Amino acid sequence: MSKFLAGAELSAEISKLLAESGGCHAVAFWGNGAELRLPNKGQGDFRVICNLTSNGTNPYTIEKLKLENVRHSPGLHAKVYIGDQTAIIGSANVSTNGLGSENVAETWLEAGVVVKKTAAIDAWFETLWDDALEISDADLSRAKVLWDRRPPQPVFSFAHFDVEASDLPLLTWSLQVRNPVNNIESVKAKLGLVGEESDEKINTLINNSMEVENEHDKKILTNASWAMFWYMNKSNTIKKGRKPYWFKPGMFFEKTFRDDDNDEPGEYRDSVFPSDDKSLEPFEVDEIFIRSFFATLERPEFFELINLEYKEPWFNKMRLRLTREFWVECKREYLKEAEANERIS
């Protein structure tokens, strides 16, 4: 008995095996949310062998599992899922990229074969389990350092964007300001510039900068790789006529602009300028992404990401958590529509 599986069908069958009590799984790489696929959210009856040293397994996920049920094998690259009656041998890891989510197209094109479990398969796993290493606190700490240092991989489609990355783009909105008064001289002084030839460039930089309201947000921003902006109306609704855009934080400047209301001068505000780093943006903002982005942003659970009436700071723990959840859900939405479009075409 054997059956070839691919795509969503493969994901569904793997998910069934992972949920079985007593399952044994020798799978190299485990990503964010993998614990939710295992019995009792990773605290039940199962055994897992992973590869914790190749920087493909998220150590923060492994930390959530019942560690006495988990071992690591530095040379492991196999993907073998073993249930009570059947086993699946294929290419898919336990990650968003590998399995996607139920009824959603996967990021990578995965394939595998489901076979009847045999004594040879059981023996192979037991030998690997005996040779594998128990996971210590030091192993997890070392893996976390390596995971956090991973260089961002250039991608062109949101379908291949890693929503499990530790340094996900920040999310924030912008209100259009009609007549900002820019403090060009303060910026020129900090940059050591003189004369009027640089005024136009500095004026553009200030207009494209991001307001910083407090020291907490300044620290978060200046340590971030990317942020994504979208436009809001003063009525607390999303301005969908303008697409979201990328912002790469650069230098911080104090008192760079003010908004004058009815000819009354306001207070000067601090801002972070866009970086002059020309590295690739995390992914292309295509039409499917724009629709998926706004559809996800309008969901009730993400209201605090569009709430104009908020208390400082903006990048608090709650919104940083919502940001991570947002990127996961946005990708699911994106893959759904991408799959639907492919079927229509």
pLDDT (tens digit, 9 = 90+) per residue, 113-147? 999 999 999 999 999 999 999 999 999 999 999 88
* One-character DSSP codes across 123-183: HHHHHHHHHSEEPPHHHHHHHHHHHHTPPPPP-SSGGG--TT-SSPPEEEEE---SSEEE-
The predicted pLDDT at position 293 comes to 97
Q: Quick: pLDDT tens for 101-111.
A: 333 334 567 89
Alpha helices in the chain (DSSP H): 7-19, 59-62, 96-99, 119-131, 137-148, 184-191, 199-207, 215-222, 287-297, 317-344
The domain spans of the chain are: 2-148, 158-344
What average pLDDT does the structure give for the chain?
87
Asked whether the predicted pLDDT for residue 341 surpasses 90, the reply is no
Alpha-carbon gap, residue 86 to 116, rounded angstroms: 4
Confidence bin at 345 (pLDDT 50/70/90): very low
CB-based contact 103:167 (threshold 8 Å): no
In sequence order, the 6+-apart residues with CB closer than 8 A to the CB of 92 are 10, 11, 14, 79, 98, 99, 106, 108, 110, 112
| End-to-end C-alpha distance for the chain, whole angstroms | 35
CB-based contact 7:110 (threshold 8 Å): yes
Mean pLDDT of the region 50-57:
91
CATH of domain 2-148: 3.30.870.10
Percent of the chain residues topping a pLDDT of 90: 52
Mean pLDDT of the region 305-333:
93
In sequence order, the 6+-apart residues with CB closer than 8 A to the CB of 213 are 269, 270, 312, 313, 314
Among 75-79, 122-126, 192-196, 246-250, name the one with the lowest average pLDDT.
Answer: 192-196
Asked whether the predicted pLDDT for residue 170 surpasses 80, the reply is yes
The predicted pLDDT at position 343 comes to 56
